[in-house]
Amino acid sequence: MKPQDPSARPAKIPCLGYALMGLLQGMPSSGYELRKIFSSTSMRTYSDSPGAIYPALRRLEHQSLIRGTIEEGSGLRRRQRFRLTPKGVAALKAWIARPVTRADLVAGQAEIMLRFAFSEQAAGVTASVELLRSFEAALKPHLAGLREEFRASKAATSGSGRMAFECGVRQTACLLEWVQYAITAYTKERKGGSL
Amino acid sequence: MKPQDPSARPAKIPCLGYALMGLLQGMPSSGYELRKIFSSTSMRTYSDSPGAIYPALRRLEHQSLIRGTIEEGSGLRRRQRFRLTPKGVAALKAWIARPVTRADLVAGQAEIMLRFAFSEQAAGVTASVELLRSFEAALKPHLAGLREEFRASKAATSGSGRMAFECGVRQTACLLEWVQYAITAYTKERKGGSL
DNA sequence: TATGACATGTAATCTGTTACATGATTAG
DNA sequence: CTAATCATGTAACAGATTACATGTCATA
């Protein structure tokens, strides 16, 4: 069957879904609270629009990755508090544990950083370090390739185009430096890891 | 009229549209050639799928920003070559000349870099430098804000989350360094500019 | 003549955006 | 009572992805 049996693949979860699950682990929250996090903290990159959050939460619930319970506590105001299910925890861990591919790099490192940010709480220090090493392994040849492409296009491209390319190279180099700094920071402070 | 009269706004062009127009200035190309650029060069970030490119080209054509002409030259194989119209050139220049806002920064700098990359050819060195200065002006307070948020969350957030935040701060600092390097590179080499 | 690269497209589907709607609760 | 905030949603639409369809041309 060529068109890839829909029941076979594990129902791809978009990045926003993982962002929500990552926040939900450790801190069960309502949709409104999650929106507040997206609009007020450094996670501004994610949409805080209700038209994004609420449908996303319902999708996750339909996949049994999270479960919402209506709180009756304080007032009569309806309010759902969502928690990760065991299946959700597993999905989150699997997402974090994925090796970093070249495709991840060209797609922008936003998703990898999200994975890393949630890694320690969701899967332990060992998983964080593993992810960093995978990141480093993907990053090195990628940076080398970029530098080669930069040299090759040096004559062809002109002016600001070349300059922009150089910015990309610098940013990638900076990222690699951070990865290596993070690895040493993790491996120096503890030998065993907390998991 | 609250719902913002649709005929009033200049029909927002998505980033892919500007990427296509930027490539088309200077080098009229077919859809297939554009796809090749996206799939083979450092512009891999943009989709090379026909389902993205061809509809985007048609949208631009409907807005009279580009015009396609069927080439009859070599064989009988149909092939459209697209060129920027004067209106397209104007739209591209206007997009490049937009001051960089805080919203641009949190949305990720991909679009700003694209604007800069095309700036010199589309609007001249003066526009490039102007854009860089605007970028710098937006970047400085943003970086300061990030650093403050980082310090504030230092105790609260734990482990990899804080580390990821630090990565964001470093990347932003690296970006600012590049901007300043680029400004000096431009202003040192020529006083007047080529426009 | 069969294969593969060239070249262009369409259809189904998914996700996100914008803009609006709805109702409960709290502060003045 | 009224306005603002809390909290949750919906509807219309835009844009991208995936997967497929179509046809041309060169070459082995």
Distance between terminal CA atoms of chain A? Answer: 42
Return the DSSP state at A47.
-
Least confident of A12-21, A42-51, B81-90: A42-51
* pLDDT of the residue at B128: 95
pLDDT of residue A92 exceeding 90, the answer is yes
pLDDT band at B195 (very low <50, low <70, confident <90, very high): very low
* pLDDT of the residue at A134: 95
Query: Please, what is the average pLDDT of chain B?
Result: 86
Is the Cα dihedral A168, A172, A178, A179 positive or negative? positive
Cα–Cα distance for residue pair A67/A86, rounded to 1 Å: 10
pLDDT of residue A75 exceeding 60, the answer is no
pLDDT band at A155 (very low <50, low <70, confident <90, very high): low
Cα–Cα distance for residue pair B144/B137, rounded to 1 Å: 12
pLDDT of residue B65 exceeding 90, the answer is yes
- The nearest CA of chain B is from the CA of A64 a distance in Å of 26
Q: Which nucleotide is nearest, taking the CA of residue A46 and each C1'?
A: C16
Cα–Cα distance for residue pair B123/B15, rounded to 1 Å: 18
pLDDT band at B156 (very low <50, low <70, confident <90, very high): low
The closest CB to that of A178, out of B128, B149, B167, belongs to: B167
Could you list the protein residues whose CB lies below 7 A from any atom in strand D?
Answer: A 2-4, 30-33, 35, 50-51, 54-55, 57, 77-80; B 12-16, 47, 49-52, 55-56, 59, 74-78
- The token pair that represents A9 in the structure block: 């693949």
Instruction: Report whether A169 contacts A151 (CB < 8 A).
Output: no
pLDDT band at A195 (very low <50, low <70, confident <90, very high): very low
SS3 at position A28: coil
pLDDT of residue A28 exceeding 90, the answer is yes
* pLDDT of the residue at A112: 93
From residue B93, give the alpha-carbon distance in Å to each of A163, B25, B118, B156. Answer: 18, 11, 9, 45
Cα–Cα distance for residue pair B123/A159, rounded to 1 Å: 12
Cα–Cα distance for residue pair A135/A128, rounded to 1 Å: 10
Block residue for tokens 């591919």: A101
The closest CB to that of A121, out of B110, B159, B168, belongs to: B159
| Stretch B94-118: mean pLDDT | 89
Q: Which amino acid is at B106?
A: V
| Stretch A158-180: mean pLDDT | 94
> How far: A120 CA to D2 C1' (Å)?
49
> How far: A24 CA to C11 C1' (Å)?
37
For residues B35 and A45, which has the higher predicted lDDT (pLDDT)? Answer: B35
Distance of CA B77 to the CA centre of its chain: 33
| Stretch A163-180: mean pLDDT | 95
pLDDT band at B158 (very low <50, low <70, confident <90, very high): confident
pLDDT in tens, B107-155: 878 899 999 999 999 999 999 999 999 999 999 999 999 999 899 887 6
Distance of CA B12 to the CA centre of its chain: 14
Distance of CA A51 to the CA centre of its chain: 21
* pLDDT of the residue at B94: 93
Cα–Cα distance for residue pair A68/A88, rounded to 1 Å: 13
Cα–Cα distance for residue pair A182/A177, rounded to 1 Å: 9
Q: Which of B15, B40, B42 to mutate to test the interface with A (most CBs of A within 10 A)?
A: B42
- The 10 Å Cβ neighbour count of residue A12 is 6
Instruction: Report whether B118 contacts B25 (CB < 8 A).
Output: yes
From A68, A49, A56, A65, select the one nearest A16 (Cα to Cα): A56
pLDDT of residue A6 exceeding 50, the answer is no
Cα–Cα distance for residue pair B71/B30, rounded to 1 Å: 10
pLDDT band at A190 (very low <50, low <70, confident <90, very high): low
Cα–Cα distance for residue pair A183/A136, rounded to 1 Å: 9
| Stretch A141-160: mean pLDDT | 85
pLDDT band at B73 (very low <50, low <70, confident <90, very high): low
Report phi then psi at A24, rounded to 5: -70, -35
Q: Which nucleotide is nearest, taking the CA of residue B78 and each C1'?
A: C7
For residues A29 and A191, which has the higher predicted lDDT (pLDDT)? Answer: A29
Cα–Cα distance for residue pair B33/B2, rounded to 1 Å: 43
pLDDT of residue B193 exceeding 50, the answer is no
pLDDT of residue B191 exceeding 60, the answer is no
Block residue for tokens 């083979």: B40
Q: Any bridge partners for residue A70, and if so which?
A: A80
* pLDDT of the residue at A98: 92
| Stretch A128-142: mean pLDDT | 95
For residues A109 and A82, which has the higher predicted lDDT (pLDDT)? Answer: A82
* pLDDT of the residue at B75: 53
* pLDDT of the residue at B153: 81
From A125, A140, A136, select the one nearest A99 (Cα to Cα): A136
